[in-house]
Structure 1
Amino acid sequence: MSEITKKWYVVRIIGNKEKIAKEYIEKEMGKGMLKHITDVLVPTEKYFVIKNGKRVSAERNFFPGYLFVEITFPSFKSDDPDDVNERKRFEMEILGIAQDGLRELPNIIGFLTEGKERVINPVRQSEIDRILGRVDELSDQDGEILVPFVVGEAVKIIDGPFKDFSGNVEEILEERRKLKVMVRIFGRKSVIELNFAQVTKE
């Protein structure tokens, strides 16, 4: 008798419907045609943008148009437990049933397949571990701020001691999430360093 195994697979989703699709799968998984699906993953990260002079939180998907499902393959009896082909046929049968079940749900296209044979291949566990590690890492952070500025661009300071001053971006320190801005203070040009969230476009 073979052991229980778990593998992750990529599922194609209609654009921008990943979260809704995840909810549909979670409602149905563990029963019927989706009884072998035991987990669903939509990797996301939080980031901030500046809108109308305000710092606004938003969320984006790592892989737009896709999500990941974990399939748990039960043990099965075999005259030859080392027969790789028999094990593969067993897994493909389960995947086929899951594929039919997924396609019945709204916004879901089905498993990502490869080649003319439309083979459903699992994601390498090392890749899933990397994705999960990245999600855990970001969950401990305040989020990433996108760089909505370019060098030479006119900006206005909206926070701090130089609030309401205007200037031009001299340098972008992306890793530190800061800008160097040239402003005129008391008639003299000075370069000051500011956080992304302290400025907005003119």
Structure 2
Amino acid sequence: MKLKVTDQKQTPEDLIQKVEDPNHIVVTTDAPASARWYVVHTQSGHENRVAITLKTRVESMGLTHNIFEILIPTQEKIKISKGKKVTIKEKLFPGYMLVRMIVTDDAWLAVRTTQGVTGFVGTADQPTPLPENEVKAITAFGEQAAPKFQSAYTVGEAVRIIEGPFTDLLGTVSAIDEAKGKIVVLVSIFGRETPVELDFLQVSKI
């Protein structure tokens, strides 16, 4: 006797794994010129889950003629993890996402009542569209070619040098250059504080 297998309902996390870019979800490419971008406030840390849930709701509610695109602005950064450089996508505005849509009562309600959404940016009943120049600036910033480093350190923090001629010396962070992945550490040499420029990989927290 064959047992009947019941299909399990896919969770937002399952769907996130299947989309090409969970930070840029295109519901439909047929957006008219009248569609505008709106800023939606979400629970911080749940932006991708909210975005995929909204897409699913839009499709099931037949609102693909009103809601067209969801964007979570991100920028690539290089993070030092376990002594290795790892490229990650860092959210530019945690707790926010952009939705390209034509605002109608049904479309507004679909977004506003999506789990994890806390509201639109604007008045209570009338969300404010984002100016086109701001949309272009945000997308251009996120598409910058050279990824920046994400520093795990702060100015004034004590660190240990773990590589190079100053290995095992302790020092204090005096400057951080995330664009180059460099850190300046003040170390005591001959009784004087001397600035030493190092790579993020050459220091560790104490």
Per the shorter chain, which TM-score range? 0.5 to 0.7
What is the aligned-residue identity percentage?
23
Aligned equivalents of 1:69, 1:59: Cα separation in 2: 19
What is the Cα deviation at residue 170 of structure 1? 6.4
Instruction: Pick the structure with more helix per residue.
Output: 1
Of structures 1 and 2, the one scoring higher in RCO (CA 8 A, sep 6+) is 1
Q: Which amino acid aligns with 1:22?
A: A
Paired with 1:34 and 1:111, the residues of 2 have a C-alpha distance of 18
1:125 corresponding residue in structure 2? 132
Q: 2:168 aligns with which of 151, 156, 165?
A: 165
Whether the 8 Å CA contact 2:74–2:90 is kept in 1: the answer is yes
Q: Secondary structure at the match of 2:187?
A: strand
Q: Is the 8 A contact 1:53 1:158 kept in 2?
A: no
CA contact (8 A) 1:33 1:97 kept: no
Q: Sort the Cα spacing of 1:46 and 1:136 in 2 relative to 1 into closer, same or farther, 3 A.
A: closer
From the superposition, tell whether residues 191 and 110 of structure 1 become closer, same or farther in structure 2 (CA, over 3 Å). closer
- Conserved? CA contact 1:181–1:194, under 8 Å: no
CA contact (8 A) 1:30 1:38 kept: no
- Which of the pair has more CA radius of gyration? 1
SS at match of 2:97: strand
- The alignment partner of 1:105 has SS state of coil
Please say if 1:38 is aligned against 2:68: yes
CA contact (8 A) 1:25 1:102 kept: yes
**Residue of 60, 64, 79 corresponding to 2:90:** 60
Could you report, residue by residue, the CA deviation over 1:2-41 in whole angstroms, capped at 9, with x for unpaired residues? x842210111212321110111123343563532111100
In 1, the alpha carbon distance for the partners of 2:54 and 2:204 equals 41
Deviation at 1:173?
4.7
Matched residues, number: 172
Verify: 1:99 aligned to 2:134, yes or no.
no
- State the one-letter code of the partner of 2:55: E
Partner of 1:76: none
TM-score by length of 1: 0.68
Aligned to 2:154: 149
Contiguous gaps of at least 5 residues in structure 2: 1-31
What is the CA distance between 1:56 and its match in structure 2?
Answer: 6.0
Deviation of 1:155 after TM superposition, in Å, equals: 1.8
Distance 1:56 1:201, change over 3 A: farther
Taking structure 2 as the reference length, what is the TM-score of the superposition? 0.67
Q: Is the 8 A contact 1:180 1:194 kept in 2?
A: yes
Hey, what does 1:111 align to over in structure 2? Answer: 120
Opposite residue 40 of structure 1, the aligned amino acid is I
